[in-house]
Amino acid sequence: MELKPKILAGNWKMNTDLQEGMKLASTIDKWVNGCTADPHVRIILAVPFTHLAEITGLMDYRRVSVAAQNCAAFEKGAYTGEVSAAMIKSVGAHYCIIGHSERRHVFNEKNEALKAKVDLCLKHAVRPIFCCGETLDERKAGKQNEVIREQLETSFLHIAPEDLKRSIIAYEPVWAIGTGETASPEQAQQMHAFIRKLVAEKYENLNAQEIPILYGGSMKPDNAEDLLKQPDINGGLVGGASLKVESFIDILKAF
Ligand code: PEP
């Protein structure tokens, strides 16, 4: 039996209204359930908050799960406009993206708040998809490993081994997100191997090969195969190309 977990996650960001989102999700769900693509690939759709309840109701959970794209750093209370991990759980979503670079850089979210979000997700049985990634300046300065280590150590790698086994790590170099520029398969593999080594060092009794580490950053049908065949890449977190059924499915076929 193959140990390597395989996951294709789509991050819709702030795109689609409810009707468009329901159509996109059900088309993907039907396609995935009827297709001959690798049956071991788990599909996750990270949809806007407003769509979560409807889309979780539409999906066949054997293959397709639904994720939120963010959650509050607080349990509940006077935080106007925020959505809690408990609320996400209550509508049936299984995952939540935490620390996406747009949250870190546009909304200025810091490692400490991200740690609180991870803990709240786990408390409410929502599985975190924890994102980490360096900026272009950090890479040019050769600091990428240092940055990734800090992001993971301060916000994520404190969790219990059984929680880590239910979670996902996504390596998303900031310079490759939504830019059309992709990390080369070698660059991505190097970082994924580094992350897996960090996991193995911190969790001695856990098989680090079981932890899914996804690559994100302009993954498209024409570069997916080369990225996905790297030994430490377990799948993709896909933004732009997840908004069209054809390109998302073509990436699925590349596993
Ligand atoms: C993302 O939003 O996580 C992402 C990787 O976006 P894109 O694929 O558009 O670069």
CATH code at position 166: 3.20.20.70
Q: How much is the pLDDT for 62?
A: 73
- Domain count of the fold of the chain: 1
Quick one: pLDDT at residue 85? 98
- Ligand 1 closest atom vs CA 170: 3
**Helix crossing, 245-253 with 18-34: angle to 10°?**
30
In a domain, 127, yes or no: yes
Q: Domain limits at 40?
A: 7-253
Q: Whose CA is nearest to atom 3 of ligand 1?
A: 239
pLDDT, tens digit (0-9, with 9 covering 90-100), for 132-146: 999 999 999 999 999
Are β-strands 41-46 and 95-98 bridged in parallel, bridged antiparallel, or unpaired?
Answer: unpaired
Q: What is the reported pLDDT for 236?
A: 98
Q: Indicate which residues carry an active-site annotation.
A: 100, 172
Phi, psi of 119 (to 5 degrees): -65, -40
Distance CA 208, CA 58 (A): 33
User: What integer pLDDT is reported at residue 216 of this predicted model?
Assistant: 97
Q: Provide the pLDDT for residue 60.
A: 73
Secondary structure class of 64 (helix, strand, coil): strand
Task: Evaluate if residue 148 carries a pLDDT over 60.
Answer: yes
E strand or H helix at 221: helix 221-228
Position 251 pLDDT exceeds 60: yes
Closest CA relative to residue 66, chosen from 41, 48, 85: 48
For the segment 113-123, what is each residue's pLDDT rounded down to a tens digit? 999 999 999 99
Identify the H or E element spanning 74: none
Residue 2 located in a structural domain: no
> In the chain, what is the greatest distance between 2 CA atoms, to the nearest angstrom?
49
pLDDT at 178: 81
Specify which of 26-35, 60-69, 91-100 reaches the highest per-range mean pLDDT. Answer: 91-100
Residue 1: pLDDT band (50, 70, 90) is: low
* Chain position carrying tokens 């747009």: 102
Asked if 222 and 251 touch (Cβ cutoff 8 Å), the reply is no
DSSP string for residues in 79-144? -TT---HHHHHHTT--EEEES-HHHHHTS---HHHHHHHHHHHHHTT-EEEEEE---HHHHHTT-H
For residue 172, how far is its CA from the centre of ligand 1 (angstroms)? 8
Question: Which residue puts its alpha carbon closest to atom 7 of ligand 1?
Answer: 239
Residue 61 clears pLDDT 70, i.e. is over it: no
pLDDT digits 0-9 by tens, 73-112? 999 999 999 999 999 999 999 999 999 999 999 999 999 9
Ligand 1 test: best mutation among 220, 238, 242, most atoms within 8 Å of CB?
Answer: 238
* Residue 1 belongs to a domain: no
Three-state DSSP at 169 gives strand
**pLDDT confidence tier of residue 166, bands split at 50, 70 and 90:** very high
pLDDT of residue 146: 98
Cα–ligand 1 centroid distance for 37 (angstroms)? 22
* pTM of the entire predicted model: 0.96
What residues does 215 pair with on adjacent strands? 171, 236
Structure tokens belonging to residue 211: 């932890």
**Closest ligand 1 atom, residue 240 Cα:** 9
pLDDT digits (tens, 9 = 90+) for 177-224: 988 888 999 999 999 999 999 999 999 999 999 999 999 999 999 999
User: Can you tell me the distance from the alpha carbon of 127 to that of 130, in angstroms, rounded to the nearest whole number?
Assistant: 9
For residue 36, the model assigns a pLDDT of 74
